[in-house]
Structure 1
């Protein structure tokens, strides 16, 4: 599922470029919605085959898929209620909660390292990817061709999970590149806790709330592990910690269920710490508006949906509050806009001033950094065919491509574009069979709606800086004139080209 700007998210509504009914199987690397989020649409359009995943992934999908369906329904309803859409056609949800529950019923579990046959002529097995609970890389053999798909890879020495693994000696490898352009400081779990301790103490000393946008899955549980440890060792007083995400609460229950399989868990009771308060209802969430000096963790991690937007609306304008980012913020998301230093943002059609302290800790990333990715790929050698690099922003992918080129990582290195098709021969480089669509590629990153939101949030202040009411009206008239003249220019060009 595409996540980011509105333009990018419209790709989730585009027709699938394949016949859904002809698919034999789906193999899912992990439960994160950017990987699993279109499964309900796939099944709603006629897919009836198995969805193979680990038992832990299936347990998480039991909550995550229906939650995604409710978000789709709620988002469509809210957008249809907006005043600026009154004269437009109603938006339909991409899929519903019922579609999500139907997709979940098609999930079949497979244990790590066990070979299985997802379809005739194929065999596959799953390897620990160290990214989140249940995450895997997928090895596939078919027609004498040996493939490996990294899925999302975790960093080495991550809390809860063993380091990523995988086979060596492959024809083609498909690897993520989220952090292919950066090397994070090598920080131990204890050093990470020290950084978090400093941020919490500084935020609460200001007297306001510490608001942390979190991913419901894994990031929330890592933070709870560290906060509980800091409290239990006397390094933090007993702050009130509110986990304001029903999905995060349910995901935490799954982590508790699998506590015996996880590292760094201690007694396994950390998620039931007396300082932790799990808010369930909307009314409980709204009561947090009157809080000061609390830690509020809410989803979504990139501030694109969910209760975090509610808390940002109430806390961004408070100078005593702190917003702490602990995860990747994609281009075009509200989280990225705030992190990049915006003075004002739009939330649910309203302008919100940014006066709160904006902070960031990079050490909680669930993704491997450049050195981790490089080590993982080196351990997969020899790669006799192509190394495909994707799942990253353009600059990150290109930086990592140059590094892999210098590393002689594979016979060829490919940075595929959306919509391209490749043949995958045995012991030889891939060949591109079909080019992608330019309009799809241009949807990645910021879009005109991001630019419009920036422009509109600053427009009123800019007009107020003009010396008189008559001059402000003249400025508005000139802006309208520019828009009209540009439209006429576009129509003229179109008529000449036709």
Structure 2
């Protein structure tokens, strides 16, 4: 008998973690960090299963909401094999090391405040450290190319298809024998939009008995990508023409590389007024190097450029700043410029001091190219607040604000439906990685257009395949 229990990304979009049991074999698909309201507390809670009982861990891609608790899994006794694409393994290493650094810094800050209150004993140790992360990558990994089969046991095989979400992302296909019948269960991971700038389009899937599919944007359609590209170009050019500075809070993985490619194209096509461009994010700089390491994952245009010795993410005006001192010197730059820095939602990172120094100037602009969660500084700026607090100081917001939503790395409602449509033999459909209201809308659309009933997964509840 085969069962699946979701311990994350069940009626929420973070903490992806699904336990597949096939007979006595236990396979965990992703082990992600909970993020957003109450997320950090939830990460410290028990998994809901014994980590030492897990035989295999399959990682669909290297975003923290899919890999962020992997070091914790090892700390609690996991000693099985990790299975992922090569790119996911490499990206996961830099993401988890960065995460460990942030956890350590947060711990120092919270501890200092707690000591002043005489409440040191209430402070939790960091979820994991950089040494814990290094232990993860000293263990047993099995890296697969797309559609390369790996036999777990005599009757269980796993393979990956390209999910088209970020570099190295995959949907996992697990084939097994049950009662002398072949069965296939598929976990979509996060599926990419068909409108992508820099990486290959996602693969189609032809067969599945059971499908666990993400539903992040199951309630809506995305704006056309070309429209968003034009909006981005207009915002950049109009700001530079008045000798302003453009601030782009950007996620280090995928979104930053997309922005660099767009600016590269504008530069080469003569569309970009002369300016200084700063990539002020050590993590994004490391991630960009990995994008160059795997040109086969890039779109045809970028792959051709890369294999012919041209870096698609670098050009004459681009300056990278790795140290804190280099970052701080950007504040003294008076000429027109573009500053790309993290974090993407302005809830920490180097973008904070750039906003503090430039948000008050009406010649400047802030271009948001990613989702801004409620309660973040980014969301407050997007929502039109007259002033915001940064490092304890009230800063008036006079810079122009642009929100460009068409760069999403997730498939929208129509794209999700189109991905399901050609699957033959589909008997059971399960919705994960989405908010309840969006899942219900998506389930109704799937029923209406494809005739499939959908089951919305609940945290901790097991279902039989």
- Band of TM-score, shorter chain: 0.7 to 0.9
Task: Mark the CA change 1:7 to 1:351 in structure 2 (over 3 Å): closer, same or farther.
Answer: farther
Match of 1:374 in 2: 417
Indicate whether 1:220 and 2:259 are aligned.
no
Task: Mark the CA change 1:296 to 1:81 in structure 2 (over 3 Å): closer, same or farther.
Answer: farther
Q: Secondary structure at the match of 1:114?
A: coil
Higher Rg: 1
Residues 176-209 of structure 1: CA deviation (Å, up to 9, x unaligned): 1222222123334xx5543321110122234432
**TM value normalised by structure 1:** 0.79
Pick from 131, 137, 142: which aligns with 1:104?
A: 137
Task: Mark the CA change 1:314 to 1:84 in structure 2 (over 3 Å): closer, same or farther.
Answer: farther
Higher strand share: 2
Higher helix share: 1
Q: Secondary structure at the match of 1:285?
A: helix
Indicate whether 1:342 and 2:385 are aligned.
yes
Deviation at 1:84, TM superposition (A): 10
**TM value normalised by structure 2:** 0.84
Match of 1:444 in 2: none
- Is the contact between residue 146 and residue 159 of structure 2 (CA under 8 Å) also seen in structure 1? yes
Task: Mark the CA change 1:201 to 1:104 in structure 2 (over 3 Å): closer, same or farther.
Answer: same
Residues 237-281 of structure 1: CA deviation (Å, up to 9, x unaligned): 232111111011011111112225422215222323121111010
Match of 1:404 in 2: 446
- Is the contact between residue 266 and residue 272 of structure 2 (CA under 8 Å) also seen in structure 1? yes
Q: Secondary structure at the match of 2:340?
A: strand
Task: Mark the CA change 1:147 to 1:87 in structure 2 (over 3 Å): closer, same or farther.
Answer: same
Match of 2:460 in 1: 420
Match of 1:90 in 2: 123
Residues 443-471 of structure 1: CA deviation (Å, up to 9, x unaligned): xxxxxxxxxxxxxxxxxxxxxxxxxxxxx
Pick from 231, 238, 247: which aligns with 2:274?
A: 238
- Is the contact between residue 368 and residue 402 of structure 2 (CA under 8 Å) also seen in structure 1? yes
Deviation at 1:344, TM superposition (A): 4.1
- Is the contact between residue 128 and residue 136 of structure 1 (CA under 8 Å) also seen in structure 2? yes
Whole-angstrom distance in 1 between the partners of 2:167 and 2:352: 26
Aligned residue pairs: how many? Answer: 420
Deviation at 1:120, TM superposition (A): 6.3
Deviation at 1:305, TM superposition (A): 3.1
Whole-angstrom distance in 2 between the partners of 1:362 and 1:322: 16
Residues 13-44 of structure 1: CA deviation (Å, up to 9, x unaligned): 11111101000010001111111111111112
Structure 2 runs not aligned, ≥5 long: 1-31
- Is the contact between residue 200 and residue 297 of structure 2 (CA under 8 Å) also seen in structure 1? no
- Is the contact between residue 80 and residue 86 of structure 1 (CA under 8 Å) also seen in structure 2? no
Residues 127-163 of structure 1: CA deviation (Å, up to 9, x unaligned): 0001111110011123434211111111114123332
**Aligned ranges 1:154-303 → 2 under 5 Å:** 154-188=192-226, 192-263=228-299, 264-265=301-302, 266-268=304-306, 269-292=311-334, 293-303=336-346
Whole-angstrom distance in 2 between the partners of 1:246 and 1:97: 16
Q: Secondary structure at the match of 2:105?
A: helix
- Is the contact between residue 241 and residue 273 of structure 2 (CA under 8 Å) also seen in structure 1? no
Q: Secondary structure at the match of 1:271?
A: coil
Whole-angstrom distance in 1 between the partners of 2:33 and 2:393: 25
Pick from 391, 403, 411: which aligns with 1:360?
A: 403
Q: Secondary structure at the match of 2:48?
A: coil
Q: Secondary structure at the match of 1:153?
A: coil
Match of 2:45 in 1: 14
Match of 1:75 in 2: 106
Deviation at 1:62, TM superposition (A): 2.9
Residues 412-462 of structure 1: CA deviation (Å, up to 9, x unaligned): 312223x2322233xxxxxxxxxxxxxxxxxxxxxxxxxxxxxxxxxxxxx
Whole-angstrom distance in 2 between the partners of 1:85 and 1:203: 45
Indicate whether 1:128 and 2:148 are aligned.
no
- Is the contact between residue 132 and residue 154 of structure 1 (CA under 8 Å) also seen in structure 2? yes
Deviation at 1:309, TM superposition (A): 2.6
Task: Mark the CA change 1:38 to 1:2 in structure 2 (over 3 Å): closer, same or farther.
Answer: closer
Residues 94-115 of structure 1: CA deviation (Å, up to 9, x unaligned): 1111111111233321111011
Deviation at 1:316, TM superposition (A): 3.1
Whole-angstrom distance in 1 between the partners of 2:118 and 2:359: 32
Whole-angstrom distance in 2 between the partners of 1:267 and 1:247: 23
Structure of higher RCO (CA pairs closer than 8 Å, 6+ residues apart): 2
